Amino acid sequence: MEKTLVILKPSSIQRGLIGQVISRFESKGLRLAGIKMMQLDDDILSEHYAHLNKRPFFQRVKNSMMSCPVIIQCWEGIDAAKVVRALIGKTNGREADAGTIRGDFSMSSQENIVHASDSADSAKIELKRFFKEGELFDYKLLALPNLYAEDEI
């Protein structure tokens, strides 16, 4: 099974959307492999958003992500990164389709509720950045036969 990273951003925490957002992933049938709350700092955010370091909004993004603790999660399933990206919707909440997390809960391109890995390859790097050895769990999800066909698992 593929793993992917999801971060509930400060906008999600401050608006009391934690349970609603997590329930979207659970309802889809993804398996939670790890979860923790943490306060992000400039060092980890500079690394995580290095691809944006030349953009004029780089510091604004980091400031937003440091404004309160976030919830870091690892979700697992077949094509997990692609599935999560479909569930969260376009980056700009005003452009995200209704029914997606951002489409239902966001009016912003920055305060857009959630970060998610953009691919399985990115997820591997990002999960190592935020989870230490032993913080991700492998357990039997009893609902698995009800989520996938026999030849899918």
Domains of the chain: 2-152 (3.30.70.141)
Give the pLDDT of the chain (153 residues) as one tens digit per residue. 999 999 999 999 999 999 999 999 999 999 999 999 999 999 999 999 999 999 999 999 999 999 999 999 999 999 999 999 999 999 999 999 999 999 999 999 999 999 999 999 999 999 999 999 999 999 999 999 999 999 998
Token pair recorded at residue 122: 């990115």
Q: How many residues does the chain have?
A: 153
Residues near 66 by beta carbon (within 8 Å), at least 6 away in sequence: 39, 40, 41, 42, 45
Q: For the whole model, what pTM was predicted?
A: 0.95
Beta-bridge mates of residue 75: 4, 32
Beta-bridge mates of residue 4: 75
Q: Which of 126, 63, 61, 129 is nearest to 91 (CA)?
A: 61
Catalytic residues: 115
